[in-house]
Structure 1
Amino acid sequence: MSDGAPFPENRLQAMAVGERPQERLERLGPGALSDAELLAMLLRSGTQGQDVMTLATRLLTDAGSLGALTRWNDSDFRRAKGIGPVKAAQLRTVFEVATRVLRQATETMPVINTAGLAADYLRPLAQALLVEKFWVLCLNRKNRLIKCAEVTSGTATSALAHPREVFREALRASATAIIAAHNHPSGDPSPSAADVQVTRQLREAARTVDIALLDHVIVGSLAADPTARGYYSFREAGVL
């Protein structure tokens, strides 16, 4: 474990009052905090001769990263000066919760990389709707679903979305790719001229923001679809 030489005696005291973790958390939210600051918030307090920021920084230095701390056991934590059995158990519990949340999120995020999979995912939402709705499926680098966002809800014949609204949702979700989709209440997924125009606008906007537009899918029903597929893919049609 580190002997503490590289660090000032009291990192917390050296910070301006408004720049300490608690104040930054309240003012900017947890996303603005560094790994050391987040860890300091978990630790809550330091020990005699070692403030909480110094303790947090030492732990990160010894482990190598915040992610590496998830693999530490109680004895690893207790080797660090200032970490007793209670605090070690608390940290292990927090990191175990984080590990399980990440694992469960990964397991429940379906891969959606084809028009058929997108239509299957959205059909329960689209069936029996009397108006058109427009959705964006926000995907990560492995095409796993991060978020399904409803962008607009329109009339019985129109729910066209502006690219700005579509990609705003993608940017909020930190998506690297999207599949745009909307339904046709009639069940016939054949595209209208307006659908084609929106798709072309989305294609251009995707290039601007550097988020891949995998497809634009129109969800219909098997019974009303002349092709008996129940959806229309602009990617398969060669528009994208």
Structure 2
Amino acid sequence: MTSLNTIPLGERPQERLQMKGPNALSDAELLAIVLRSGTRGCDVLSLSHKILHGSGSLRGLLRLTVEDMQAYPGIGGVKALQLQAMIEIARRVLSTGEAAPLMDSPERIYNWLRPIADGEPVEKFWVLSLSRKNRLLRCQAVTSGTATASLVHPREVFREAIRNSASALVCAHNHPSGDPSPSQADIRATRQLREASKVVQLDLLDHVIIGQREHDPAGSGYYSFAESGIL
């Protein structure tokens, strides 16, 4: 069992997380990040090893009660409740069995984004990073501004998709007026994104403008650049 005090500063869990990402960390290191601190006689990494040894495995943490956690010196009431919340999140993720949302049509994209976009007073631009099967890996708002401003540059869009190891992406932005009809600026930006996607060899499947059905002349509530033939 490795003690935190024997590890060089640059190789400690938090520094390794920052430099190399979560996949590079061991189970004990990840738990140490959550625990944050140990006790005078037992540093946080040693405490993490003890908890994992006592529970049998990382999955064994799911069976721990608050009382079980507080049996370890250094785990007080607040820290035990924090751990219990983390464990409950993991338990719910494991129990749902739900696949990531499928983003294979502008209607699905609109229905998924509408609760997020509704009520936004300014335009926001989202990048939806997708897997090979068009399931959502991550949705990120990359820019936000006034309703008349040009919001996005291809650099921000494709940087996020590449960072998420996306196989393809969809772009979306809202029109606070509720009318999803594209402006000339929207059309120019979409064509720019289309050309950039060819350069970086990452498929841009669609750019969807999110509006509201009651304000949409077409009645759908959204505008799809793929359906319109621009993409």
Note whether the superposition's TM-score is higher than 0.5.
Answer: yes
Distance 2:173 2:23 in 1: 40
Q: Which residue of 2 aligns with 1:4?
A: none
Q: Which residue of 2 aligns with 1:148?
A: 139
CA RMSD of aligned residues (A): 3.9
Q: Which residue of 1 aligns with 2:154?
A: 163
Equivalent position amino acid for 1:116 in 2: E
Q: Does structure 2 conserve the Cα–Cα contact (< 8 Å) formed by 1:139 and 1:145?
A: yes
The Cα of 1:104 is off from its aligned counterpart by 5.7
Cα deviation code 1:47-66 (max 9, x no counterpart): xxxxxxxxxxxxxxxxxxxx
Distance 2:62 2:165 in 1: 23
- The one of 104, 112, 116 aligned to 1:121: 112
Q: Does structure 2 conserve the Cα–Cα contact (< 8 Å) formed by 1:24 and 1:32?
A: no
- The one of 49, 56, 59 aligned to 1:90: 56
- Mark the structure with the bigger radius of gyration: 1
Distance 1:118 1:201 in 2: 21
- The one of 93, 103, 114 aligned to 1:112: 103
Q: Does structure 1 conserve the Cα–Cα contact (< 8 Å) formed by 2:169 and 2:203?
A: yes
Cα deviation code 1:177-232 (max 9, x no counterpart): 11100111121111111111111111122222232211000111111211111111
The Cα of 1:125 is off from its aligned counterpart by 1.8
Equivalent position amino acid for 1:194 in 2: A
Distance 1:144 1:122 in 2: 14
- The one of 170, 173, 183 aligned to 2:164: 173
Distance 1:203 1:155 in 2: 24
How many residue pairs get aligned? The number is 188
Cα deviation code 1:157-186 (max 9, x no counterpart): 235211111112212222221110011112
Distance 2:165 2:93 in 1: 16
Q: Percent identity?
A: 49
Q: Which residue of 2 aligns with 1:190?
A: 181
Q: TM-score, normalised by structure 2?
A: 0.65
More displaced stretch, 24-33 vs 183-192: 24-33
Q: Does structure 1 conserve the Cα–Cα contact (< 8 Å) formed by 2:126 and 2:172?
A: yes
Structure 2 unmatched runs, 5+: 33-51, 64-86
Q: TM-score, normalised by structure 1?
A: 0.62
Distance 2:15 2:104 in 1: 39
Structure 1 unmatched runs, 5+: 1-11, 45-85
